[in-house]
Amino acid sequence: MVFRKFLSYFEDPKYPSVGPHIRLLSLTGLWHQSNSKIEKVKLYLFYLTVAFFCSQYIRCLMKFDAESLTLILQYAPFHMGIVKSCCFQKDYKKWENVIFYVSSLERDQLLKKNEQSVEITKYIKQSRRVTYFFWALAFFSNFSIFSEPYRKNHENEDGNKIYTQIFDGFIPYSSEAPGYYVSMAIQTVLGHIISAYVVAWDTLVVTIMIFFTGQLKVARINCRNIIKNGEGHENIVSCHRHHTKLVKYQKLFNELISQVMFVYLVVISVNLGVCIIQVAELQDDITALISSCQFVIACLIQLLLFYWHANEVTTESVLVSYSTFESNWTEAPASVQKEVALLGITTNKRLVFRAGPFNEMSLRTFIAILRASYSFYTLLSNTNK
């Protein structure tokens, strides 16, 4: 009961499917509809977090050592949060446009209480399951990640204590105790903030992909029912308008995520290779081995969520055109039959999401990423021998 009340906090009638994500984005300051003092403070915290992570890149370039680079690669999903949050702020108005379209369409459809509204309720429930599963996965992964450095602290051959960091950004405290623990506290807080950015962006993207899949199913239902109650022409116009807007906003949404997903594609491929090498080298340390395996699995699940739901949108998009001929078009007048044929042609669009200009987000690409990661692992393993 308490858990349900907690989850109900994230619901918002104004945003039927993306309500929890808007709540989380508002908590982090990435979603700012008003110009209140609290939102300004959250934005300042966002700039501070970005500055901290950028200082790590500057220090890595200045020192140019393998240890700093390995640390960045090891926690690459956190660094992707900088890319995702900065791109979200850069394209804030476009994101606002997409989110308002999604929510206004769903509110209007849910009021009708028909077959289409049942389909919408179904995909919203699916979205909630994916969202809360991902949030739980991120929470437990963070618990493991932020406790790992303390387990890795050890003494070297000279008897000096070696302290392990999570991030190598600029913090005005010593890298040795007691300053180390203050530094780790700051890193943990900023790490959780950037993790919230990542989780909010990722689940929002997946939920909007689920929205497009669900709306394409609604479009199929509408196309099957176009010849009904003597309103063939009006229904055809409505179906065409609905599908045209879906195509328009799918292209806009693809534009918003394409560059980010390309960077993510490159980073996660390298990151998986590095993590697999660490798993191979940590066979004697069971605790660290479990932590590394958990991190690899979390990265794979995160990647699979994107590519699975992107693939679902593509699959559903090619079925809309066929649904027009599942209607009772043979019973309609000749003029309406011509309009049905035109509707079948205009809805014959294959909608795809792309990671950059070349990579289509699909299950086939996901398998190719796994193969590339394994090849990277093999290359590095042979190099280290």
**With the C-alpha atoms ordered 285, 288, 290, 293, is the resulting torsion angle positive or negative?**
negative
Better-predicted residue by pLDDT, 261 or 290: 261
- Of 10, 35, 16, 22, nearest to 96 (Cα)? 22
State the pLDDT at residue 103: 94
What proportion of the chain, given as a percentage, has pLDDT over 70?
Answer: 81
List, for residues 25-51, the tens digit of each pLDDT value: 998 888 987 778 888 888 888 888 888
Identify the three-state secondary structure at position 111: coil
CA distance 14 to 214: 18
Mean pLDDT of 351-372: 85
Res. 156: pLDDT tops 70: no
Confidence bin at 282 (pLDDT 50/70/90): low
Partners of 162 in beta bridges: 154
Q: Cα(25)–Cα(362) distance, rounded to whole angstroms?
A: 27
State percent of the chain over pLDDT 90: 26
* Angle separating helix axes 66-74 and 232-281, nearest 10 degrees: 140
pLDDT at 153: 61
How much is the pTM? 0.87
Looking up tokens 């109900």 gives 8
Q: Are 76 and 266 in contact (CB under 8 A)?
A: no
Question: Which pLDDT does position 52 carry in this prediction?
Answer: 84
pLDDT of residue 323: 87
Q: How confident is the model at residue 151 (pLDDT cuts 50, 70, 90)?
A: low
- Count of other CB atoms within 10 angstroms of residue 85: 24
Q: What is the pLDDT of residue 3?
A: 57
Q: Which of 74-83, 173-182, 361-370 has the highest mean pLDDT?
A: 361-370
In the block, tokens 């240890």 appear at 67
Give CA angle at 280 (274, 283), nearest 5°: 135
170 secondary structure, DSSP code: -
Residue 99 is classified by DSSP as H
- 57 in Cβ contact with 167 (< 8 Å): no
The residues facing 148 across adjacent strands are none
141 vs 362: which has the higher pLDDT:
362
**Dihedral angle of Cα 233, 235, 236, 239, to the nearest 10 degrees:** 160
Query: Using one digit for the tens of pLDDT, what is the confidence trace for 235-250?
Result: 888 889 999 999 999 9
Is residue 268 pLDDT above 60, yes or no? yes
Contact 224, 326 (CB under 8 A): yes
Average pLDDT over residues 4-32: 84
Q: Interior CA angle at 156 toward 153 and 158, to 5°?
A: 145
Mean pLDDT, range 342-360, rounded to an integer: 87
Residue-wise pLDDT tens digits, 302-336: 888 899 999 999 999 999 988 888 888 777 788 88
Across the chain, mean pLDDT equals: 82
User: What gap in Å lies between CA 269 and CA 276, rounded to an integer?
Assistant: 11
Task: Determine the pLDDT at residue 161.
Answer: 66
Q: In which residue are the tokens 């063939």 written?
A: 232
Picking from 6, 42, 306, 15, the residue whose alpha carbon sits closest to that of residue 197 is 42
